[in-house]
Amino acid sequence: MQRSFRPAITKWAAILLLPVLIPAALIAGLWPGSRTVARTPEEVADFLRNFLEGTGQDWDWDDFESLRIADPELEAIRERAAHAAPPDPDLNELRALLAEAQALARSRAA
């Protein structure tokens, strides 16, 4: 005996729900690429310093690498750091990015 397959939601119901679900996803921050965090230059420098010195917590680098930063200058540093990171870390590049984040912190403090 063959069972008929009935989807939980029909195509028409899904189409009718889209105008509600897309704005809800945007508001909830579930849309890909919409999640950013607010970090200061000091925080970015701390992530880099902790990685270079091996003093960070287990998931610190993953959090730094994975979450986009709202500030465009800091986001550029994060992206370059992600490319210079494990499995083959470019320590010289990471040191240069640390110096850049520290300089940015000093300039914003002035």
* 61 or 23, higher pLDDT: 61
pLDDT for the residue numbered 7: 62
Q: Using pLDDT thresholds of 50, 70 and 90, give the confidence band for residue 1.
A: low
* Average pLDDT, integer, range 19-42: 73
Q: How far apart are the first and last CA of the chain?
A: 78
How far out from the chain centre does Cα 29 lie? 13
Domain range summary for the chain, segments of one domain joined by +: 8-33, 38-109
Sign of CA pseudo-dihedral 98, 103, 108, 109: positive
pLDDT tens-place string over residues 48-83: 999 999 998 889 999 999 999 999 999 999 999 999
For the entire predicted model, the pTM comes to: 0.69
User: Is the distance from CB of 61 to CB of 85 less than 8 angstroms?
Assistant: yes
Q: Using pLDDT thresholds of 50, 70 and 90, give the confidence band for residue 46.
A: very high
As a whole number of angstroms, the distance between CA 38 and CA 1 comes to 58
